[in-house]
Amino acid sequence: MPAKLKLTARFLLIAATLVCVVGMVGPFKGVEKNFVPADKAAHFIAFYGLTVLMMMAFPKSRRLEITLAAIGLGAAVEVAQFFTHRGFSFSDLSADVVGAFAVWVPMWLQSVRSPPVVERRRRASDRAVEPAPERSRTA
């Protein structure tokens, strides 16, 4: 991935994270209804987008760890909402989890479906250097 794209993804990740955290914890309760009619859909979209940006910003990190980090952020936001008297909601956290895993699951299925690049290269090199069949020596 080009360095410029990675840097752009990191900048967008910081901006999106700030917008999400301020929107979910700040005094703007219900502002997401101006964009998305359902609160759970807003959580799903937010954490789907954050997970995609995290994977683009850190392409060499493990995808499952990135997904779990996004879920951790969702849990932290819900705990922060509890302390700001907005209330902890398991259904909001569930929407966050589903949004994050909606990014990871197709990638995981693809990795299960096809062997990793290193394995494909090894198999290709093994085929290229097949040993010649042994000839019987009769004198």
Q: What is the dihedral of CA 24, 30, 35, 37, to 10 degrees?
A: 120
pLDDT of residue 139: 54
Q: How far apart are CA 63 and CA 47, in angstroms?
A: 14
What is the pLDDT, as a whole number, of residue 58? 92
Question: Where do runs of H (alpha helix) occur along 1-139?
Answer: 3-25, 39-57, 63-83, 90-113, 117-128
**Predicted TM-score (pTM) of this structure:** 0.73
**Predicted local confidence at residue 118, as pLDDT:** 65
- List the pLDDT tens digit at each of the 139 positions of the chain: 688 888 999 999 999 988 888 887 777 776 667 777 777 888 899 999 999 999 999 999 999 999 999 999 999 988 888 888 777 788 889 999 999 999 999 999 988 887 666 666 677 777 766 666 666 666 5
Q: What is the pLDDT at residue 56?
A: 93
pLDDT score for 8: 92
